[in-house]
Structure 1
Amino acid sequence: MGFEVESAQALKIENLTKNFKIDTGSVTALNNVNLTVKSGEFLSIVGASGCGKSTLLRIMVGLEKNYEGKILLGDEPIKGPGTDRGMVFQESRLFPWLTVEQNVAFGLSNKTYTADKNEIVQEHLELVGLNSFAKAYPHQLSGGMQQRISIARALVNKPKVLLLDEPFGALDAMTRINMQQEVLRIWEKEKTTMILVTHDIDEAIYLGDRVVVMSSRPGMVKKIVPVDLPRPRDRSSYDFMQIRKKIYDEFFAQVDRPFVYDI
Structure 2
Amino acid sequence: MAELRIKTLVKRFSQASGAVLALDGIDLDIPSGGFTSIVGASGCGKSTLLRIIAGLEGDFAGEVSLDGRPVGGPGLDRGMVFQEHRLLPWLTVEENVAFALNGPTPAEVRELVSEHLELVGLGSFAKAYPGQLSGGMAQRVAIARALVNRPRVLLLDEPFGALDAMTKIIMQQEILRIWEAEHITMVLVTHDIDEAVFLGDQVVMMSARPGRVKAVLPVSLPRPRDRSSPHFIDIRRHIFGSFFAEAEETFAYAI
The answer, yes or no, to whether TM exceeds 0.5 is yes
- 1:258 Cα shift? 2.8
Change (3 A) 1:167 1:80: same
Which 4+ runs in 1 deviate beyond 3 A?
Answer: 112-115
Aligned residues: 251
Q: Map Cα deviations across residues 119-175 of structure 1 (whole Å, 9 max, x no partner).
A: 010000000000000000000010000000000000000000000000000000000
What are the ranges of 5 or more consecutive residues in structure 1 without an aligned counterpart?
A: 1-7
Residue 193 of structure 1 is aligned with which of 182, 185, 193? 185
Matched, 1:46 2:3: no
2:149 aligned residue: 157
- Equivalent-residue separation in structure 2 for 1:84 and 1:115 (angstroms): 22
For residues 115 and 226 of structure 1, the distance between their equivalents in structure 2, rounded to whole angstroms, comes to 43
Q: Residues of 1 paired with 2:36 and 2:203: CA distance?
A: 6
Q: Does 1:55 align with 2:48?
A: yes
Give how far 1:211 is off: 0.3
Question: What are the within-5 Å matches in structure 2 for residues 3-22 of structure 1?
Answer: 8-22=1-15
1:64 maps to a residue whose letter is E
Once residues 49 and 164 of structure 2 are traced to their aligned partners in structure 1, the CA distance between those partners, rounded to angstroms, is 26
Shift of 1:9: 2.0
Aligned pair 1:238/2:224, yes or no?
no
Match of 1:166 in 2: 158
Q: Distance in 1 between matches of 2:106 and 2:49?
A: 34
Q: Give the aligned residue type for 1:67.
A: F
Aligned partner of 1:5 in structure 2 is none
Within 2, Cα distance between the matches of 1:253 and 1:245?
12
Asked whether the 8 Å contact 1:10–1:161 carries over to 2, the reply is no
Equivalent residue number for residue 66 of structure 1: 59
TM-score when scaled to structure 2? 0.96
What CA deviation, in whole Å up to 9, does each residue of 1:86-106 have, x standing for no partner? 000000000000000000001
Q: Deviations over 1:46-75 (max 9, x none)?
A: 000000000000000001110000000111
Question: What letter matches 1:102 in structure 2?
Answer: E
Q: Which amino acid aligns with 1:95?
A: L
What amino acid does structure 1 have at the position aligned with 2:46? K
Q: Which amino acid counterpart does residue 134 of structure 1 have in structure 2?
A: A
Q: Distance in 2 between matches of 1:212 and 1:65?
A: 22
Q: Structure 1 counterpart of 2:95, which letter?
A: Q
Q: SS in structure 1 opposite 2:42?
A: coil
Q: Normalising by structure 1, report the TM-score.
A: 0.93
Q: Matched residues in 1 for 2:189 and 2:139: separation?
A: 15
Cα RMSD (Å)? 1.3
Higher helix share: 2
Q: Does 1:130 align with 2:133?
A: no
Q: Give yes or no for contact 1:10–1:160 (8 Å, CA) kept in 2.
A: no
The 5-angstrom pairing of residues 116-127 of structure 1 reads 116-127=108-119
Identity %: 64
CA distance in 2, matches of 1:147, 1:25: 37
- How far residue 109 of structure 1 moved from its aligned partner, in angstroms, is 2.8
Give me the whole-angstrom Cα distance separating, in 2, the residues matched to 1:169 and 1:258: 26
